[in-house]
Structure 1
Amino acid sequence: MKAVIHEKIKGFNGLSFSDMKVTEPESEQVRIKVKAAGLNHRDLFVLDRHKETDPPFIIGSDGAGVIDSIGENVSNVKIGDEVMINPGLHWPNTSDAPPQGFEVLGFPSDGTFAEYVIVPADSVETKPDYLTWEEAGVLSLAALTAYRALFTRGEVQPGMKVFIPGIGSGVATFLLQFAKAAGATVYVSSRSEEKRTKALELGAEKAIDSHGDWEQELGGAKMDLVIECVGAATFNKSLDTLRRGGTIVTFGSSTGDMIDFDLRKFFYGQLNLLGSTMGSSEEYKEMLSFIKTHEIRPVLDEVFPLEQYEEAFNKLEKANQLGKVGFAISK
């Protein structure tokens, strides 16, 4: 089978479009013929984590396709079923934090940027009929991350004011769509006028320039909840948008991991700081139910043939996308 693999050299130079052997699923596993898959920033990060001495692996966490083969002791699906893959492995029930053994598909395990992928049977769910293959293929990781950050950790409620800095990524666009569907009033920021315009079309109350004076551009409005994924570049400005007693949930740090902030302002303001990452299988099922109820579709920026992986990776690295970048893999 054809696959995008990484080996020997750290970073982009270790990627290639190559042939890999198709294997059979073991007990409690299924093999999926992948119809479509989605890129995430994680796919960029693991290129530097994979050591030169490690064996080749297939990259990719998101995907959707048709059950092609099943191992022993599999009863939840059958050959021919159309499914989506939950990339969060070994986290069955919602909990304060992932259990020991939790990992994400696509490193160290082989991932979805291939014609076939083998996953645990309990990591697949039925594809909603209204989603195209491309929509289903790009959805899971970003939508699950957004769902846990917004609902489980942020406890969003109707009428809340929610602020999402750095609109444009897959997770951020899902956060906007989910928060609107939950009855919140949503504010966003971006350096890009195009992304701000798209956010308004998706239902944002206001889309402000990331380089501007946020207090002035928000008209003095204070937020109940901020969902932060940008990191050092925006964290303190995000804190300043919160009302007294407000909450900030963070799940990313694309502009740097280390920050300084005013601790006295933080505790006098009775603020809440929560971390979040991915989500459980239970939350994944809840997320799918939520998107079906509200018929939410991912914002698709561009879909590439798998052999054009270099163009797709470059687009994601430059943050030129609005929404999700995906691969069409098989018909």
Structure 2
Amino acid sequence: MFGIAKKLKAMGIVGINKRNCELVLPNNPRRLYPLVDDKLRTKNLAGAVGIQVPELYATVETEHDISRVEKMLQNRDEFVIKPVNGSGGKGIIVVVGRHKKNWIKASGDRITIMEIRRHLSNILSGIYSLGGTPDTALIEYRVHSHSIFDRIAYKGVPDVRVILYKGIPVMAMLRLPTRASDGKANLHQGAVGVGVNLITGHSCGAVCKNEMIEHHPDSDEPLLDFQVPFWKDLRLLASRCYELVPLGYLGVDIVIDQAFGPMVLELNARPGLSIQICNQRGLQHAVDWVDRYKEEHNNQIPQDAHIRSELAERLYRDLVPSAEVTETDDKEQPEIADNKP
């Protein structure tokens, strides 16, 4: 037992108690939590500084709003309904099409206007919110996953989780939906986590249900030769979120839309630790690297997001010296539209 603990410590593995006591509590002022726990506030803050997020169609705050929802949705064939203060993907409904008077969910099941009203009422009652408090529902643009993910994702929309420590990207993973996760990019529900090289965006390991894998469990497609598109833009986008909400330990979830490219989906003040498994290294060494950098630079972290993003490359080279550092080929990056969703 003590041998295992010693080995994990040498690898820099951070456990949940250490995360809470040494990363979350000292670095994340509780007064800032509402800025990330409330998805509407996060969306408004991001939009105000030009960070791209899925377009908001409507908010539902009262039972009176629910009575008007059919009119709100009459010209919408696709949309997403989610609780403002939800977590873990609970309470989210993704609508991908329409059939006569009904809509079609991502699962292929049909949903009626009465079922939508009932679901909205449940959201307002706080069934899905943190702490069970009364909540608000968002109706927003449905992200169309970039076609580059078609062969390695099951139905849903993959996302990229980037962990920032004091504003510097220190670890990242691509989360891929599976049949077991019901098309959701949630590792606890059975999605695949793929470690990401911070320099190039190439995959460097994959895990599903805490087991290392090399192929997607549904498609059997290889996962270890994949490159996340727009990687440097995406890494910079994550870095900019520290200026949005200056939490010292912050998770940034980004999706890549087929038409509009990288978008911030949400922020997380308590990002989980499974990211260490798919990257096959611990967070502690990255945290120590950032702390040393800060100490060596007059106790300062650069204010410029571009510099913080580039520091992630120095960090990765120092911590993973054997890593492939071939630069991304911008010519092979897919094009995106200039207009916003």
Report which of the two has the higher share of strand. Answer: 1
TM-score in terms of structure 1 length:
0.28
